[in-house]
Structure 1
Amino acid sequence: MSSSLRSNINFIALISANTILSAAMPMLIILGGLAGLGLAPSPTLVTFPPSVQMLAGLLATGPFAWMMGRYGRKIGFIVGGALAVVGGALCVVALMQSSFFLLCIGHAALGAALACYQYFRFAAAEVVSEKWQPIAISLMLTSGLIAAFAGPQLFIITKDYIAAVPLAGAYGALSALSLIGIAPLLFMSKPVVSKQGVGARSDTNKRAALWHRPVLTAIVIGTVSQAIMVLLMSPTPLAMIGCGFSEETAGDVIRWHVVAMFAPSFVTGFLIKRYGVTPIAVIGLALTILSAAIAASGLTQPHFYGSLIVLGVGWNFGIIGATTMLVQVVPAEDRAFVQGANNTIIALVSTVCAFGSGAIVTSMGWTVLSLTAIPPLVLTLLFMARFAPVRTES
């Protein structure tokens, strides 16, 4: 897949680290709301810890892009993993001391770590030849398939490990897992990402690159795909528990949602090579609309399973399509700036969705929340019909 042994070593190190570190994501989907439910001083603040997590990710995205552009991917990912270790430990202490404030601080550190992990897919594309970039991005996301099974299962096994403090064991396991995930990064040769062009262009020229039509289209697709996924996924455990389902059932729905997010990655890259970026991205957005329609049509267990599974597949096609488009159209000298701006915009909109989802679910219900997801998706498809770039193939 790559042109040299050095590139192979880097790709193996990246995918190994991402496989381990990504297990934190499905665990946090379950943990954030449940921990908030136990410690929040008000029902309206139940989803505040995961919302703070999203906000911290927003604030950390730009600095991580700068750090990786200046010091390389290796240093950036190690710092991100270390933040996850600290964040998990803080949440354990928060639960032991019944401190909602400390819980939010812990989730802030975890949110910064998750923001860092968003650069794994870009790093994967940088260590292989251009024609293999869609495949490398897809394979990097397949590591999340293991996380889909390992994360929720680890939650179930460890959530009551500290009997007197529910959920503390799961946060402790998350911290330990993150420490293990740092190890493969130590084997990366450096620098992984070329530093050519860092600081070589003016801020005006870099900002202008964001308005280049293919770049703007990629950012819009990625932002909407991620934001709607967050909008529907984040409050799912709370909505299910409110409908009388158990924590285990809610965890299983999240498990299969995450499976659906990453399992298609085995073929998405090849589909992009065969049919181009735009058709795959369109299919992803259409599937996400279908997911919202399924969610709005009922509150039974099959509706929750069906909606979240279709949502996962839609996200996969949308995010891989957007990432591939961005990698292929952005020159090396603008890469760090554009990737940082892209992830910051995605984090900003996703943060708004995370905050809004809890308020909508608790005040107006799951059905209304599901219906609110449809208009932005339709508008994005209309935007693509006018501004989508020509077919991009490798």
Structure 2
Amino acid sequence: MNPNKYISDVVKKIPPSGIRKFFDLVTNSKDIISLGVGEPDFVTPWEIRKEGIETLCRGNTTYTSNLGLLELRIAISYFLKTHYDLNYDPEKEIMVTIGASEAIDLALRALLNDGDEVLIPEPSYVSYAPCVILTRGVPVFIPTDEKNNFILTPDDLRSKITSKTKALILLYPNNPTGAIMKKEDLEEIVDVIIEKDLIVISDEIYSELTYEGKHVSIASLPGMKERTILINGFSKAFAMTGWRLGYIAAEHEFIEAMNKIHQYTTICAPITAQYAAIKGIYECEEDIIKMRETYDQRRRFIVNGFREIGLDCFEPKGAFYIFPSIKKTGMTSEEFCEKLLKEEKVAVVPGNAFGPSGEGYVRVSYAYSIDKIAKALERIKRFAEKIL
């Protein structure tokens, strides 16, 4: 028997994650300093962990509503209002998901018919295009450029729209570049979005990790709430990656459609994580601020470090990544990363893992201690001195 012949042609054509594929090389290696994983190095704040423990001790181990605990949806509504001036009805316009990853999948499956096109600015997070393909949609990439601060411009957006375009995915603050789109940047693309009748899937998982000013959601702009599916979660800002908890805020009709899929596949998010997240929203604001301040310190330290080494480095204004250019080395992104790993035992991610316009760059996470970053910079400097 050949199991491979039974596997879907669509699945066969999807390449493995460029991030995971590269880090298979790291798994069994010793003395590696990895600056590759996009995961907070902070432990989940104690009040959240304590609530999780107490929830289990109380015996709260059942299913919840498909949409999630109403108490959590009320808390999320409060969070969105107080942080981003967004108004969502917790009973009808918010649903809780198993991480932001499930939220992305639900949004795409609820929206797309065969052949519908989805616009994806890139460099961008690796899972969007495969998720579009798995829904029988067509991903269409919009290259962004460092000279424009890696933001999506109205001209770039308009140039990729066809009669089959249905949705636009936005990820700002951006993974991998750390770019943000300010209110005025978003306002410039809103007219195109409304004119062309597009739906926006706005992945705002890094919204609380914005270092200059406050994050602005495109859903807060006139005419955009009704055509935006807002995705967020607790993994990054609350350091809750392993709790697997995200959420969607959108018009009731969108929520109803996504909940149909959710109830037949995952049923609901884990109840323990939901109760813990309520505590996080109401009592862990100071923890979020402290983590953000620490990331900001690391951000400035690592950007300065790369520039002193002699590698050009775009200054990120959000998330916890830098995206330095390695073009002056004459190497491809993968060559640079493989040689750096082999010769100096530092792991970073090739920029082309995030799309063709990421070629010539590498993604470096600063979700690590200053000491670890400093040691990695010493090794990268030694490596660069041999090739520059």
Structure holding more strand per residue:
2
Question: Do the two structures share a fold, i.e. TM-score over 0.5?
Answer: no
- Which is greater in Rg? 2
TM score, norm. by length of structure 2: 0.27
